[in-house]
Each structure stands twice: as structure tokens, then as C-alpha cells.
């Protein structure tokens, strides 16, 4: 009997120990605030997307796949595009759908600017859609590397 209790307790301790090894939780709104602080030239004049309905409107990302997000975009299309979109999916499947939606948007931006404004295409070609577990990011900005440095530092 004592042996059985010891085994159950050992299993419970291991379960709690491994529960602490899960992926790091990152507050995407805090990351966006940090981007705004460290990259003010990139983020000046951007419009924040406030809810998942807006996220769906611009990116066709289903609200049911989203755990949290933070996004700012430039709505003035006469200038080079700036879009900073960070989304945490509820699960791996959702992350795949979100990455697909953001990749579609990214490709659309590339296509538009390749025929409309080839000089701005150089900026876009340096940018990308990336994924870190259930987190998916699309950054289109002149100083892409500085924005990504802030994002990567959060992880």
C-alpha cells in the first residue's frame, strides 16, 4: 500500500514538474508597446486593430483560432506598407491556419507593390511571415530587422 502511494505521489510530482516546461507565455500587447517604444519611426501613424472582427476583416483570420493578438497597420496606401501583426493561436491547427492567412496577405502586398510601386517592393522582399510554436508574426516594415529583434527578444 505504501509503495502504491509513493508511486502515485512520484507521478504527481513529475506531472507538475513537466507542466512547468510548457511554452513561454508572451503578452503580445506588451510586445507591441515595446516595438512602439524602440521603433517609433516605424510605428508612427499606425492604426491599432482592436478586436478579432478587425483581424478577420483585414486578414480573414477566424476569431475561433485566436487566443490573443496585437496588430498595427498603416491604412494610408500612398506610402510604403507597414503592417505589424502578431497572433497567438489557440492550438497548432489554428497556428497553421493563421500562418496561411498571413502568408496570403503578405503575398498580396508583394503582388500589389510589384506592379504598383516597384521601389517599395525592395522593402517588402526583406520582410516575412514567421512562426514560433503557436505564435505567428507578419512584419512588413522598412526596419524589419529592428522590429523582429524586439519580437524575438520576447521569446
> Is 16 among the domain residues?
no
Instruction: Concatenate the DSSP letters of all residues of 110-139 into one string.
Output: HHHHHHH-HHHHHHHHT-EEEEETTEEEEE
Domain that residue 38 falls in: 24-153
What are the pLDDT digits (tens) for 98-130? 999 999 999 999 988 887 777 778 888 899 999
Q: Looking at the domain assignment, is residue 137 inside a domain?
A: yes
CA distances from 19 to 12, 15, 121 (A): 11, 6, 45
For residue 146, being part of any structural domain is answered with yes
3-state SS assignment for residue 109 = helix
Number of domains in the chain: 1
CA–CA distance from 14 to each of 9, 10, 24 (Å)?
Answer: 9, 6, 19
pLDDT of residue 132: 95
97 belongs to a structural domain: yes
Global confidence as pTM: 0.82
Residue 149 neighbours by CB distance under 10 Å = 13
Residues 82, 46 contacting (CB under 8 angstroms): yes
Residue 40 lies in a domain: yes
* Low-confidence residues in the chain, pLDDT < 50: 1-22
Q: Within a domain: residue 4?
A: no
* Assigned domain for 15 exists: no
Residue 17, in any domain of the structure: no
Amino acid at each position: 500500500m505504501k509503495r502504491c502511494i509513493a508511486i502515485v505521489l512520484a507521478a504527481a510530482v513529475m506531472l507538475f514538474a513537466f507542466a512547468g516546461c510548457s511554452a513561454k507565455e508572451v503578452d503580445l500587447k506588451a510586445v507591441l508597446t515595446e516595438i512602439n517604444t524602440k521603433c517609433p519611426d516605424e510605428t508612427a501613424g499606425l492604426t491599432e486593430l482592436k478586436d478579432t472582427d478587425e483581424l478577420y476583416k483585414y486578414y480573414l483570420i477566424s476569431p475561433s483560432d485566436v487566443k490573443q493578438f496585437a496588430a498595427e497597420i498603416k491604412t494610408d496606401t500612398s506610402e510604403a506598407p507597414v503592417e505589424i501583426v502578431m497572433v497567438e493561436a489557440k492550438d497548432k491547427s489554428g497556428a497553421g491556419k493563421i500562418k496561411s492567412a498571413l502568408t496570403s496577405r503578405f503575398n498580396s502586398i508583394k503582388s500589389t507593390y510589384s506592379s504598383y510601386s516597384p521601389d517599395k517592393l525592395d522593402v517588402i522582399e526583406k520582410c516575412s511571415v514567421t512562426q514560433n510554436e503557436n505564435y505567428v508574426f507578419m512584419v512588413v516594415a522598412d526596419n524589419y530587422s529592428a522590429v523582429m529583434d524586439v519580437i524575438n527578444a520576447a521569446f
